[in-house]
């Protein structure tokens, strides 16, 4: 079936978390007959399998839908899904580049939230048409008129004619489909111009090689076309092109305006970086499309296998994850305490959590993650400068002239009642107050400059607990700032455990040292001997706790009828020990390394 370019719509859906993005996506697929209601579950199950087999996040898979509009015309809708969290701004931006418009879902009960704003601005920055949709109007507390007004006031986007729907019940979902036709422009582009195809995602398929998810901006690509990438400057022969419906469906060609995939027996994912442009060898485009703002990892953490012999498995897992996650950075690392592992860079804490969980779930590997760090700029007395992502690499104090730490611009949306507690928190986190805006009676936007280093500790949790979960938070990194930082070391049984070292502000070193020592005392189980836990800055001990030696670790009775049962008890005890890592003579549970973050520091 051939469809005019004017009848193609490429769009994505953006929303604050839990405002109903996935539900609406499901509903759109259902209404366009992409999946029948009956098959819905099956479809999702298939996807899950696929996700597991290939290690990709299906959520980023674009879906091609056919829609017969009320005007009698047939349309192709390409829906490109996006992740919703602030950590994944980069992922969002790469999806946006492939679209002409974005459906902005706003919850009719909650209104505009932090990520509604962040994602909407991102879409506007990418020249996308914003099409607001008011969701959850079936709820008793829905305030669609007020919310529509709010969207207009805050975002300056026309919202009075926005479809008011319930994605959950399916109410008015057709309005969304109709509105897409009028609100979102058709793609431009020339089928006969030199090929410019934007890679917005990719994954590795065992049979076909790397599959590139592309948006064709100009030109045509078909099987047999000799293609070339701009950044990596490699050449390949196209073996297959096609679209997503939502499974991959081969086609003869892809032309300007279309969204689909290209396979070209590409062996390495590195050759087809997300954001790169594909063109043809014979008639190349003079310059590539504007790529994305490259996402820089902001949070760094050591990732080590719990079982040291699984280093290669961990390496494979990380490389596989990196195939689909350009924002993840990996570098080999070596810790005296934990052996060989990797220093990984993440977009934020959620990203770190996701990767950690995927390693454990999808690759069945148990890992130890060390306390996250940010990257610091170190200006040395000899005039050189270095960037430190791992506290262990910090040069001796005598060689440091001064240091700089990354600063973020934070925006916190909160009901007015919580302004006081939040200001207190931000101040405690070394924040600098910038601005306070009353958005309406119910919401205040607070703006602060905060050191990123303070955010990666328990900022989210503290914010949530102080505002009963009502506040939402968004940030962007704004630059570096000179700061009085020191390295805080933890000593176990007299030896520095490098995996526990962190960089902190000098004024906080004593307090954090004490908190971490206390926390370690709680998480390290008693052992055969007494274990002193010390916190030290520059060789000076600033805090000490002791894990006492255990006194009783014995089976009281063991007679004829007990042997098997007691043996099982010991086996269980042994299993527990496997989750521990020996640091010198001390055995430490793997969660100890990350638990030092959660010190309830503002109590």
Partner 1 sequence: MSGIYVHVPFCKQKCTYCDFASYPREIGKAESYFACLYREIEGRSKQYPGRVIDTIYVGGGTPSVVPAKFIAGAIRQIKKCFHVRETAEITIELNPGTVDAEKIKEYKSVGINRFSIGLQTGYDDQLKKLNRIHTAKDFLECCNLLKGENISADVLIGLAGQNLEQVKKTVDLALAGGVSHISVYALTPEVGTPIYTDYLNGELLSDDEVADIYDGIRTYLKEKGFDRYEVSNFAKSGYRSRHNQNYWQRGEYIGVGVSASSFMENRRFTNTFKIDEYINAVIYNKTPEISSEIIEDKDARFEFIMLALRTTDGLNVKEYEHLFKSNFKDEYKAQLSKKAQFLEFDGDTLKIKDEYLYVQNDIILSFMKE
| Interacting residues toward partner 1 by CB under 8 A | 527-528, 548-561, 563-564, 566-567, 570-571, 573-574, 577
Q: How far apart are CA 525 and CA 533, in angstroms?
A: 12
In the bound state with partner 1, the residue whose beta carbon lies nearer, of 296 and 555, is 555
Q: How far apart are CA 4 and CA 2, in angstroms?
A: 7
Whole-number minimum distance, CB 586 to partner 1, in Å?
13
E runs forming strands in 156-247: 196-205, 209-218, 220-222, 226-229, 235-237, 240-244
Whole-number minimum distance, CB 573 to partner 1, in Å?
6
Whole-number minimum distance, CB 580 to partner 1, in Å?
11
Contact residues for 7 (Cβ-Cβ < 8 A; gap 6+) = 73, 74, 75, 76, 186
In the bound state with partner 1, the residue whose beta carbon lies nearer, of 506 and 548, is 548
In the bound state with partner 1, the residue whose beta carbon lies nearer, of 361 and 548, is 548
Element (H, E) at 151: helix 144-155
Judged by DSSP in three states, 135 sits in: strand
Whole-number minimum distance, CB 525 to partner 1, in Å?
10
In the bound state with partner 1, the residue whose beta carbon lies nearer, of 224 and 494, is 494
Whole-number minimum distance, CB 166 to partner 1, in Å?
47
Cβ atoms within 10 Å, residue 557: 8
Closest to 298 in 3D by CA, of 351, 337, 238, 261: 351
Whole-number minimum distance, CB 571 to partner 1, in Å?
7
Closest to 245 in 3D by CA, of 94, 380, 62, 426: 62
Q: How far apart are CA 79 and CA 65, in angstroms?
A: 8
Whole-number minimum distance, CB 365 to partner 1, in Å?
18
Q: How far apart are CA 94 and CA 276, in angstroms?
A: 11
In the bound state with partner 1, the residue whose beta carbon lies nearer, of 283 and 582, is 582
The residues that bridge with 197 in the sheet, in sequence order, are: 216, 278
In the bound state with partner 1, the residue whose beta carbon lies nearer, of 540 and 551, is 551
Q: How far apart are CA 566 and CA 457, in angstroms?
A: 42
Whole-number minimum distance, CB 336 to partner 1, in Å?
19
The residues that bridge with 106 in the sheet, in sequence order, are: 134
Helix H segments across 497-597? 506-523, 563-578, 592-595
What's the distance, CA 170 to chain centroid?
30
Whole-number minimum distance, CB 572 to partner 1, in Å?
10
In the bound state with partner 1, the residue whose beta carbon lies nearer, of 506 and 578, is 578
Q: Which two tokens stand for residue 340?
A: 């060989």
The residues that bridge with 303 in the sheet, in sequence order, are: 342, 369
In the bound state with partner 1, the residue whose beta carbon lies nearer, of 38 and 551, is 551
Cβ atoms within 10 Å, residue 129: 17
Closest to 372 in 3D by CA, of 297, 431, 457: 457
In the bound state with partner 1, the residue whose beta carbon lies nearer, of 433 and 529, is 529
Helix H segments across 325-417? 349-362
In the bound state with partner 1, the residue whose beta carbon lies nearer, of 273 and 580, is 580
Query: Rounded to the nearest 5 degrees, what angle is found at the Cα of 291, between the Cα atoms of 290 and 294?
Result: 140
Q: Which two tokens stand for residue 231?
A: 């950044």
Judged by DSSP in three states, 201 sits in: strand
HEC profile of 305-336 = ECCHHHHHHHHHHHHHHHHCCCCCEEEEEEEC
In the bound state with partner 1, the residue whose beta carbon lies nearer, of 140 and 554, is 554
Element (H, E) at 26: helix 21-31
Closest to 179 in 3D by CA, of 129, 217, 215: 129
Whole-number minimum distance, CB 499 to partner 1, in Å?
22
Closest to 12 in 3D by CA, of 60, 74, 68: 60
Whole-number minimum distance, CB 587 to partner 1, in Å?
9
Whole-number minimum distance, CB 581 to partner 1, in Å?
15
Q: How far apart are CA 512 and CA 597, in angstroms?
A: 10
Residue written as token pair 């906080």: 508
Whole-number minimum distance, CB 308 to partner 1, in Å?
15
- Check the CA dihedral 368-487-459-95 and report its sign: negative
Whole-number minimum distance, CB 90 to partner 1, in Å?
43
In the bound state with partner 1, the residue whose beta carbon lies nearer, of 234 and 526, is 526
In the bound state with partner 1, the residue whose beta carbon lies nearer, of 361 and 565, is 565
Whole-number minimum distance, CB 523 to partner 1, in Å?
18
Q: Which two tokens stand for residue 234?
A: 């490699």
Q: At what angle do helices 173-183 and 21-31 cross, to 10 degrees?
A: 90
């Amino acid at each position: 079936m051939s469809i005019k370019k004017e009848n193609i719509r490429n769009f994505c859906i953006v929303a604050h978390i839990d405002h109903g993005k996935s539900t609406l996506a499901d509903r759109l697929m259902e209404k366009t007959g992409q999946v029948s209601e009956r098959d819905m579950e099956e479809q999702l199950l298939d996807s899950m399998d696929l996700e597991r087999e290939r290690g990709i996040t299906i959520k980023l898979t674009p879906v091609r839908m056919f829609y017969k509009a009320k005007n009698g015309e047939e349309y192709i809708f390409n829906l490109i899904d996006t992740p919703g969290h602030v950590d994944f701004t980069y992922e969002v931006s790469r999806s946006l580049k492939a679209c002409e418009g974005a459906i902005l879902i706003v919850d009719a009960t909650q209104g505009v939230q932090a990520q509604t704003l962040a994602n909407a601005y991102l879409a506007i920055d990418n020249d996308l048409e914003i099409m607001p949709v008011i969701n959850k109007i079936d709820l008793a507390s829905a305030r669609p008129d007020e919310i529509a007004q709010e969207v207009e006031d805050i975002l300056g986007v026309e919202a009075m004619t926005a479809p008011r729907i319930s994605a959950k019940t399916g109410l008015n979902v057709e309005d969304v489909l109709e509105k897409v036709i009028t609100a979102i422009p058709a793609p431009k582009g020339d089928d006969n111009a030199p090929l410019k195809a934007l890679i917005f995602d990719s994954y590795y398929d065992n049979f076909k090689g790397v599959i590139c998810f592309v948006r064709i901006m100009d030109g045509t690509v078909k099987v047999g076309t000799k293609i070339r990438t701009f950044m990596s400057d490699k050449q390949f022969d196209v073996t297959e092109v096609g679209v997503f419906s939502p499974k991959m469906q081969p086609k003869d060609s892809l032309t300007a305006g279309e969204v689909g995939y290209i396979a070209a027996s590409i062996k390495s994912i590195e050759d087809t970086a997300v954001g790169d442009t594909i063109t043809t060898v014979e008639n190349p485009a003079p310059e590539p499309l504007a790529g994305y703002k490259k996402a820089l990892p902001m949070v760094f953490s050591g990732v080590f296998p719990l079982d040291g012999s699984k280093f290669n498995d961990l390496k494979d897992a990380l490389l596989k994850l990196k195939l689909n996650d350009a924002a993840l950075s990996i570098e080999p690392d070596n810790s005296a305490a934990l052996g060989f592992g990797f220093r990984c860079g993440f977009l934020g804490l959620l990203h770190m959590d996701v990767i950690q969980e995927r390693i454990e779930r999808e690759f069945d590997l148990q890992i130890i993650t060390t306390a996250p760090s940010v990257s610091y700029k170190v200006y040395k007395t000899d005039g050189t400068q270095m960037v430190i992502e791992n506290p262990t690499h910090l040069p001796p104090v005598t060689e440091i002239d001064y240091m700089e730490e990354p600063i973020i611009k934070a925006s916190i949306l909160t009901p007015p009642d919580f302004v006081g507690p939040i200001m207190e928190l931000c101040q405690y986190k070394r924040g600098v107050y910038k601005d306070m805006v009353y958005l309406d009676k119910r919401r205040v936007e607070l703006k602060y400059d905060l050191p990123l280093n303070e955010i990666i500790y328990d900022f989210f949790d503290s914010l949530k607990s102080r505002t009963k979960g009502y506040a939402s938070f968004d940030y962007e990194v704004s630059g570096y700032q000179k700061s009085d930082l020191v390295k805080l070391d933890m000593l176990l049984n007299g030896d520095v455990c490098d995996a526990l070292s962190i960089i902190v502000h000098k004024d906080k070193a004593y307090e954090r040292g004490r908190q971490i020592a206390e926390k370690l005392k709680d998480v390290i189980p008693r052992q055969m001997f007494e274990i002193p836990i010390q916190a030290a800055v520059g060789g000076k001990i600033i805090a000490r706790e002791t894990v006492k030696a255990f006194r009783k670790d014995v089976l009281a009775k063991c007679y004829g009828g007990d042997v098997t049962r007691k043996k099982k008890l010991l086996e269980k005890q042994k299993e527990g020990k496997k989750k521990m890592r020996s640091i010198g003579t001390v055995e430490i549970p793997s969660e100890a390394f990350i638990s030092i973050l959660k010190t309830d520091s503002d109590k």
